[in-house]
Chains A and B, each alone.
Chain A
Amino acid sequence: MSIIYFLIGCSVLLALVFLAAFFWAQRDGQHDDMYTPSVRILLDDKPVEEIEK
């Protein structure tokens, strides 16, 4: 049953990694604008088509 020490250590460590990821995202400003990315992802950047004189 000593494996539990190891498993719990792993789970806490993993949770810490997720917490750190969340902190990073927060600091990076990824939660500042929660709406625009949902629109932006639908805009495809087609290559330049009609260039008029």
Chain B
Amino acid sequence: MSVITLDTTHCYHCGNDCPDEHFNIGDKDFCCHGCKEVYSILSKSGLSNYYSYNDHPGANRAQEDNRLDYLLEPAIVKDLVEYSDDDIAIVTFYIPHIHCSSCIWLLEQLNRLNPAIYYSRVDFLRKQVNIRFNKKEINLKGVVELLDRIGYDPLISLQDIVKKQVFSKKDNLVKKIAVAGFCFGNVMLLSFPEYLGFSAHDEQFKYFFGWLNLLFTIPVTFYSGWGYITSAYTSLRNKVLTIDFPLALGIVVLFVRSWAEIGFNTGAGFVDTLCGLIFFLLIGKFVQRKTYYHLSFERDYRSFFPVAVQVLDADGERHVPLSDLKVGQRIRVRHQEIIPADAILLKGEAKVDFSFVTGESVPVNKTLGEVIYAGGRQMGGAIELDVVKPVSQSYLTRLWNNEAFSRNQDDRIETFSQKVSKYFTIVLLIIALGSFLYWMPSDMHRAIASLTAVLIIACPCALALSTPFTMSAALGIFDKNFFYLKNAAVVEQIAAVDTIVFDKTGTISIAGGSSVALVGDLSINEKDAISAVCANSSHPLSQLVCQYLGAAARNTVVNAYNEIGGKGITAQVNGKSIKLGSGKFVLDAGDNRAGDNGSLVHILIDGKYRGYFTIKHQYRQGVYDMRKLNADYKLYLLSGDHNHERSNLASVFGNDGAMFFEQSPQNKLDFIGYLQQQGRKVMMLGDGLNDAGALKQSDIGIAVTDNVNNFSPGSDAILDGRSLARLPAFLQFSKDAMRVVYASFGISLLYNLLGLSYAVTGKLSPVIAAILMPVSTVTIISFTSLATHLAAKKRKLL
């Protein structure tokens, strides 16, 4: 069914350019057999609507490669399926291709493709589909095959692919906010008459409203606000003063005093202050908990490695879950599969791509009997290997046994608010006690009133809100610039950093791309001569020039070849003397063309200057701007690569031993630990699995990636490669954000002082408390968001 057309056509399914010889059905063109197949399946089932919502919604199906037999293994099925009984099973898949409304539509029509699938529901942002199917008529493998046939192959891994909603449900934060908001609204309504004053014949309502208000304090205190009281209690038992302590104290005092005042009919109580306090505090907590649906920060090697391995033993082939793989087992690894454990090559031609592990993109050939480290991807035919180390003890995965991975991430840096709240609490208690002792001899009643009033008014609500609101505003700004932080606390950690460590390949350079251009005129013979000279050198610049010029003609003979490391080459070719190399080597001192940065190769033929090659390394945009950071930060480069590019990067990192090459993953981790021992706060930027240990060990690990939906190793933040140039601005901005926090702390302390001046006299009226609390909260929220946006504008991040 192939036809030949002349103009470029786009595949009806995936939108790629169709080759001249391609497939079609009717008037629709398809670039490959796979795409055509998907179309015919869909059109046969009456699902052609798929193509009407969007143009070319499909995934390219040119490379089909699916081995799903492992999905028959009961142990693996059990791990993947969420729920299963005799008839039905429920499973959630992560499908990277979900990207448009057509995807949602088609994936929710699975029932029409196979009636054994009862129900399928897409979660677009998480790129997940939840499928309920009849176990008797279709098995898990069948479901995956069906998805695969229509071009939505799920990515199956045992760790952290499918995100569950456990976190928000665990502590019911949303429900607590709902209850607090409900009570706050009602209480405000019921308190108004009291504030406006009752006339004599409305007195009866006063008790009614008062007691109704008290009813509302019960759910607010014992459901919504209970978390603060328990957390204050536990931190007190651990002998630490957190901000929760004055908050809990405030809540308790508000509750007791309200009940006492209304119960003994001595006042109106502070019920709406209590409800408002808890409501705003919970809102702050909610804001702080902003998460990204589409990103994962907690990945380790298990996300990258296959779910099951094909093991060969006496009974033939079978699939074994990765965790059950044992030393001595013989495994088979096929094209594009990852070698899961350190193993000895027994059979087949191994060509292993270690770009995953080391960043080197050129596949390495391995000979029989050689040990192949885990993490490499086999390119080419199937190979058989003998496992020599368990998965968790292999060269790469051993990293995860390091203590850096078992450490609690949250208490790395004591936050500013933690530091302040310690002193705040002490001062607060002194003032409260002082005013109590001052009034006690003369008026016991007034003494208690002033003690409680101080604890109420100084309750650090605004203080507790300033950090979350500033940080979440900052998070939003970073987010707009393709810099995704794991949580709000990371902003503060970025501000504290004083040392920045970069990985090279994939982080500051784009793997596998350099471009060469010739400036100047050379004859064909001369080009041949230069190419022949360069072919003798293993220096990467020579290699690139050689590639650019093409192989030399056979009759070019190189004589008197002399390579001077780091400078250049001299040689005689067909009677011409050729000198190639850096400006300082080729040109006379003082020649203005010599001012190069190591990416120019100058040409001198028979003593005459003939031009130069420019070699552009594919560094990410803005890498050279990083040298500005040298003023405030110490920069280091840690690369798993060879040191070819030392001279190019010297202008950024300097030459004083700040660049380290040929570093193993463990070396990287250790180096970060060494810097930390010297009291430095280290930020690490890396991309591959080989940086995973360093990312985890560092105070803040940033994974740099070209596509945020791709896998990136576990980290505190994910940075889109396009935004690397903005790193200096990000660092500045995080410091600005901290300044905003300081300022808002100042403002909230001012409010506290203002309130305290009333409170110490013991004559705090509920109206003042009821006004002061929301006003201070609103001031803080508007100040922080405004100031953060202004700071972002200043740093050109908005």
A48:B104 contact, CB within 8 angstroms: no
What chain A residues lie within 8 Å of B124 (beta carbons)?
A: 33, 35-36, 39
A4:B205 contact, CB within 8 angstroms: yes
A33:B182 contact, CB within 8 angstroms: no
Q: With A and B bound together, what is the CA distance between A39 and B190 in angstroms?
A: 42
* Stretch from B172-180, B278-286, B671-679, B740-748 at the A interface: B172-180
Minimal Cβ-Cβ distance residue in B for A23: B175
B123:A49 contact, CB within 8 angstroms: no
What chain A residues lie within 8 Å of B202 (beta carbons)?
A: 1
Minimal Cβ-Cβ distance residue in B for A2: B204
Interchain CB contact (< 8 A) of A19 among B104, B125, B179, B189: B179
Q: With A and B bound together, what is the CA distance between A13 and B485 in angstroms?
A: 43
A52:B43 contact, CB within 8 angstroms: yes
A4-B205, A32-B165, A48-B46 given; A39·B179 CB < 8 A: no
Q: With A and B bound together, what is the CA distance between A31 and B125 in angstroms?
A: 13
What chain B residues lie within 8 Å of A36 (beta carbons)?
A: 104, 122-125
What chain B residues lie within 8 Å of A33 (beta carbons)?
A: 123-126
Minimal Cβ-Cβ distance residue in B for A16: B182
Which residues in window 35-86 of B have CB below 8 A to A?
40, 43-44, 46, 48-49, 53
Q: With A and B bound together, what is the CA distance between A50 and B177 in angstroms?
A: 51
Residue-wise, chain A 7-23 has the 8 Å CB interface mask toward B (1 for contact) of: 01001100110110011
What chain B residues lie within 8 Å of A23 (beta carbons)?
A: 175, 178
A19-B178, A51-B46 given; A12·B125 CB < 8 A: no
A39:B101 contact, CB within 8 angstroms: yes
What chain A residues lie within 8 Å of B540 (beta carbons)?
A: none
A51:B212 contact, CB within 8 angstroms: no
B175:A43 contact, CB within 8 angstroms: no
Minimal Cβ-Cβ distance residue in B for A48: B46
A36-B125, A50-B48, A52-B44 given; A22·B178 CB < 8 A: yes
Q: Chain B: interface residue count, which band? A: 20 to 34
Is B547's beta carbon under 8 Å from chain A?
Answer: no
What chain B residues lie within 8 Å of A52 (beta carbons)?
A: 25, 40, 43-44
Which residues in window 327-344 of B have CB below 8 A to A?
none
Q: With A and B bound together, what is the CA distance between A46 and B410 in angstroms?
A: 52
* Minimal beta-carbon separation of B728 from chain A (angstroms): 33
What chain B residues lie within 8 Å of A26 (beta carbons)?
A: 174-175, 178
Most buried by B among A12, A16, A33, A35: A33
What chain B residues lie within 8 Å of A31 (beta carbons)?
A: 174
A5-B208, A33-B123, A52-B43 given; A40·B104 CB < 8 A: yes
Minimal Cβ-Cβ distance residue in A for B106: A43
What chain A residues lie within 8 Å of B212 (beta carbons)?
A: 8, 12
Chain B interface mostly: helix
Which residues in window 71-109 of B have CB below 8 A to A?
101, 104-105, 108
Q: With A and B bound together, what is the CA distance between A35 and B178 in angstroms?
A: 21
Q: With A and B bound together, what is the CA distance between A46 and B109 in angstroms?
A: 12
Minimal Cβ-Cβ distance residue in B for A46: B49
* Minimal beta-carbon separation of B656 from chain A (angstroms): 50
A42:B46 contact, CB within 8 angstroms: no
A43:B179 contact, CB within 8 angstroms: no
Q: With A and B bound together, what is the CA distance between A29 and B45 in angstroms?
A: 31
Q: With A and B bound together, what is the CA distance between A46 and B52 in angstroms?
A: 11
Is B566's beta carbon under 8 Å from chain A?
Answer: no
What chain B residues lie within 8 Å of A48 (beta carbons)?
A: 46
Q: With A and B bound together, what is the CA distance between A35 and B40 in angstroms?
A: 31
Which residues in window 118-132 of B have CB below 8 A to A?
122-126
Q: With A and B bound together, what is the CA distance between A40 and B733 in angstroms?
A: 38
What chain A residues lie within 8 Å of B122 (beta carbons)?
A: 36
Minimal Cβ-Cβ distance residue in A for B179: A19
What chain B residues lie within 8 Å of A5 (beta carbons)?
A: 208
* Minimal beta-carbon separation of A40 from chain B (angstroms): 6
Minimal Cβ-Cβ distance residue in A for B42: A52
Is B369's beta carbon under 8 Å from chain A?
Answer: no
Is B186's beta carbon under 8 Å from chain A?
Answer: yes
Minimal Cβ-Cβ distance residue in A for B26: A52
* Minimal beta-carbon separation of A9 from chain B (angstroms): 9
Q: With A and B bound together, what is the CA distance between A16 and B53 in angstroms?
A: 42
A51:B205 contact, CB within 8 angstroms: no
* Minimal beta-carbon separation of A49 from chain B (angstroms): 7
What chain B residues lie within 8 Å of A49 (beta carbons)?
A: 46, 48-49
Is B115's beta carbon under 8 Å from chain A?
Answer: no
Q: With A and B bound together, what is the CA distance between A51 and B122 in angstroms?
A: 25
Is B185's beta carbon under 8 Å from chain A?
Answer: yes
* Minimal beta-carbon separation of B206 from chain A (angstroms): 12
A15:B186 contact, CB within 8 angstroms: yes
Minimal Cβ-Cβ distance residue in A for B53: A43
Q: With A and B bound together, what is the CA distance between A20 and B190 in angstroms?
A: 21
* Minimal beta-carbon separation of A25 from chain B (angstroms): 10
Q: With A and B bound together, what is the CA distance between A35 and B179 in angstroms?
A: 25
Q: With A and B bound together, what is the CA distance between A8 and B187 in angstroms?
A: 12
Interchain CB contact (< 8 A) of A50 among B43, B174, B182: B43
What chain A residues lie within 8 Å of B104 (beta carbons)?
A: 36, 39-40, 43
Q: With A and B bound together, what is the CA distance between A12 and B213 in angstroms?
A: 11
Most buried by B among A4, A35, A50, A52: A52
Q: With A and B bound together, what is the CA distance between A40 and B465 in angstroms?
A: 37
Interchain CB contact (< 8 A) of B101 among A12, A15, A19, A42: A42
Minimal Cβ-Cβ distance residue in B for A53: B44
Q: With A and B bound together, what is the CA distance between A12 and B179 in angstroms?
A: 13
Q: With A and B bound together, what is the CA distance between A8 and B212 in angstroms?
A: 10
What chain A residues lie within 8 Å of B190 (beta carbons)?
A: 8
What chain A residues lie within 8 Å of B185 (beta carbons)?
A: 15
Q: With A and B bound together, what is the CA distance between A23 and B181 in angstroms?
A: 13
Q: With A and B bound together, what is the CA distance between A12 and B216 in angstroms?
A: 11
* Minimal beta-carbon separation of B574 from chain A (angstroms): 67
Q: With A and B bound together, what is the CA distance between A3 and B746 in angstroms?
A: 48
Q: List 19 additional contacts besides A1-B205, A15-B185, A36-B124; criterion CB under 8 Å.
A: A8-B208, A16-B182, A23-B178, A26-B175, A31-B174, A32-B165, A33-B124, A33-B125, A35-B125, A36-B123, A36-B125, A39-B104, A39-B124, A43-B105, A49-B46, A49-B49, A51-B43, A52-B25, A52-B40
Q: Which 10 A-B pairs have the closest CB atoms?
A: A48-B46, A36-B124, A33-B123, A52-B43, A43-B105, A19-B182, A35-B125, A39-B101, A22-B178, A32-B165
CB<8 Å pairs between A and B, sample of 17:
A11-B186, A11-B189, A12-B186, A18-B182, A32-B123, A33-B124, A33-B125, A33-B126, A35-B125, A36-B104, A36-B124, A39-B101, A39-B124, A43-B105, A50-B48, A51-B43, A52-B43
